[in-house]
Amino acid sequence: MDISTRLRIATRIHFALLRQYGEHVEIGSLMKGGADAREAMFVCEASNDLELATLARRLRHADRAESRSAAKPAPQEAAWADNTTGFGVSRPLGLDDTAAASSSWLSPSTWLRRAAPAKPH
């Protein structure tokens, strides 16, 4: 659910608890979750008021839906990019490290031999 729906449900719970029990529960704490929000949900569900119990269930459902959507990894363009941390490019899983290590290009001692023209005899 989007944040405006959660805010609307939390506001309704806040005013319903204030009206029926005189309990002042901050809307921000209902939005954040935590101990105060859990206690407010328990009071709502334990009351004999159908509206409060329904609002508590809807807010709990909205919190779960948001946590599930937040836990999904961001889509990546490359298939191998799912395993990166985002702080640098990782090597693709299929890259053969032994082929790159055996190449003479990685050996600095061969660089000058390649660059120098052949000596005429």
CB 9 within 8 A of CB 36: no
- pTM score of the predicted model: 0.52
From CA 15, how far away is CA 1, in angstroms rounded? 21
Report whether 104 contacts 92 (CB < 8 A).
no
Could you tell me which residues come within 8 angstroms of residue 96 by beta carbon, excluding any fewer than 6 positions away? none
Spatial neighbors of 69 by CB under 8 A, at least 6 apart, are: none
pLDDT (0 to 100) of residue 29? 86
Rounded to a whole number of angstroms, the CA Rg of the chain reads 30
Q: What confidence score (pLDDT) does residue 15 get?
A: 92
Per-residue pLDDT at 3 exceeds 70: yes
Q: Which residues contact 8 (CB under 8 A, 6 or more apart)?
A: none
Average pLDDT in the 4-11 region? 89
Instruction: For residue 85, name the pLDDT band (cuts at 50, 70, 90).
Output: low
Give the mean model confidence (pLDDT) for residues 83-87: 62
Q: Please give the average per-residue pLDDT across 117-121, as a whole number.
A: 64
Residue closest to 33 by CA, chosen among 70, 80, 73: 70
pLDDT of 106 > 70? The answer is no
| Per-residue pLDDT at 81 exceeds 70 | no
Determine what percent of the chain is predicted with pLDDT higher than 90.
6
